[in-house]
Structure formats: structure tokens, C-alpha cells
Amino acid sequence: MRKEKLEELRNYIEELQIITKERKKEEFIYQGTEPIQRKGFINVESYNCKLQNGIIIPREKIVKGGKDGNAAIILPITNEGNTLLVIQPRVFTKETVCVELPAGYIEENEDPITAGKRELVEETGYVPDQIQLLASFYQDQGCSAAYNYSMLALGCQKIKNQNLDQDEIIRYFECSFEEALELVNRGYITDLQSQFTLEKAKKIVKKTKCLTHYKKGE
């Protein structure tokens, strides 16, 4: 990757780094005078489960916004054959900022592909021509029902502005697919979802590139 390109990425990272992290007092939801759950986006629920073999096991479930927290992870390829990455504060990581593929939670009754397209547009302003599913998987099957979908978004074009939630702060960064793989190896892309999605896309992206070059050559 060119020095100036890496400089651009480092500037985004630096801007979004955390200076201070202050623990807040937890608030609770009450039923009468009794606390029944934590107030917040993420919660934990307790269950006793009886197995076919008769054994009863206790288990805890993480819920996000009252839902399972299914997510879509999108590998966007632009009309020029480039990849788009996003940079955002990830305050509990050592680096406090992560470079990732665009991703987001799937809304109630939303299908994964629609969610992927929506998240890509919101986070980058790029609109894809077509999206195809690469893989699907549980993210943390021991204590969550979250089921995620990795997808490839082809023919992406910058049409809109970013449209972020109030608490979202996201920069985006355009590079070649090979440079994205380089950023995994150099320790810039550190999350499992992005690493796996890039890995799964390798063969397809190479084929697609041939196709793009072929079309341009016509």
C-alpha cells in the first residue's frame, strides 16, 4: 500500500481514538420496588434448560435491544473494483479504534440482504448493484442466538451521503481488495467477521475482477 494511502487511514484512526473512558453507574428497570433488569441496549437473561437426557443446565443469554442481535457484514466492491472499509471507535479494544468491513444489526422482519444494503448505504453512501451471500454463522453460540450473514456487494457507486445514528461515528476508506488483505496481515483489520468475510470472498472477487476488465475492454 502506498505511503500516502496508509497515512490517510492512520489519520482516521487517530481522530477516533479514545482519550478517556469513564464507568457509569448502572440503572435498572423496576417492577414496583423490585429491580427486574438492567436499563440499556445490551441485557442478559437467565434460563434453566432441560435436555433430552434429563439433565437440567442453567444458561445465560445476551440480548441486544431486546433482540438476538443478528448482523449483516458487507464486503463492498465499487464499480472501479475497489473495496470499502470503515473506521470507527471500538472503545473496548486495545487499539480503541477498528478498521472493518461495513456491518450492522438486522432490524425486525428485515431480510439479511436488505439489511446489508441499508447498512452499506448508511455507513458509506455507496449503493450496490447486486448483493450475494457468502456465509452465515452464529457469532457466540454459547450465550447468544445472534446469527450473522456475510455478503459481497458488487457494483457499488457513491450516490448518497453517510446517514449515521446519533452515536455512530464512522469514516470510510477506499482501497484495492489486495490492500484490504494486506491490512489484515499488517494487523489493521482485527475482527473475526471482517477477516472471515474477506477470506471467503477471495475466489469470487478474483473472478469478478476478470469480468470487470473484460467489460471495460469491450
Stretch that binds a second copy, among 1-9, 36-44, 175-183, 207-215 (CB under 8 A): 36-44
Stretch that binds a second copy, among 74-82, 91-99, 113-121, 206-214 (CB under 8 A): 91-99
Tell me the C-alpha to C-alpha distance, in Å, between residue 164 and each of 7, 88, 119, 121, 129.
25, 12, 9, 10, 22
Applying CB under 8 A, among 2, 3, 4, 51 the residue interacting with a second copy is 51
Helices 177-185, 192-217: crossing angle, 10 deg rounding: 160
Q: How far is the CB of 157 from a second copy (least distance, A)?
A: 27
Torsion, Cα of 145, 150, 156, 159 (10° steps)? 10
Q: Is residue 145 near a second copy by the rule CB under 8 A?
A: yes
Residues near a second copy (CB under 8 A), total = 71
Applying CB under 8 A, among 19, 32, 210, 217 the residue interacting with a second copy is 19
Between 45 and 129, whose beta carbon lies closer to a second copy? 45
Q: Is residue 24 near a second copy by the rule CB under 8 A?
A: yes
Q: State how far the Cα of 187 lies from the Cα of 125, in Å rounded to an integer.
A: 26
Q: Is residue 159 near a second copy by the rule CB under 8 A?
A: no
Nearest to 6 by CA among 194, 192, 188, 193: 188
Name the 3-class secondary structure at 5.
helix
Q: Is residue 191 near a second copy by the rule CB under 8 A?
A: yes
Stretch that binds a second copy, among 107-115, 123-131, 191-199, 210-218 (CB under 8 A): 191-199
Q: Is residue 40 near a second copy by the rule CB under 8 A?
A: yes
Q: State how far the Cα of 205 lies from the Cα of 177, in Å rounded to an integer.
A: 8
Q: How far is the CB of 106 from a second copy (least distance, A)?
A: 14
Q: How far is the CB of 25 from a second copy (least distance, A)?
A: 8
Q: Is residue 45 near a second copy by the rule CB under 8 A?
A: yes
Q: Is residue 32 near a second copy by the rule CB under 8 A?
A: no
Q: How far is CA 49 from the centre of its chain?
A: 31
**Residue 161 · residue 125 · CB < 8 Å:** yes
Q: State how far the Cα of 119 lies from the Cα of 147, in Å rounded to an integer.
A: 16
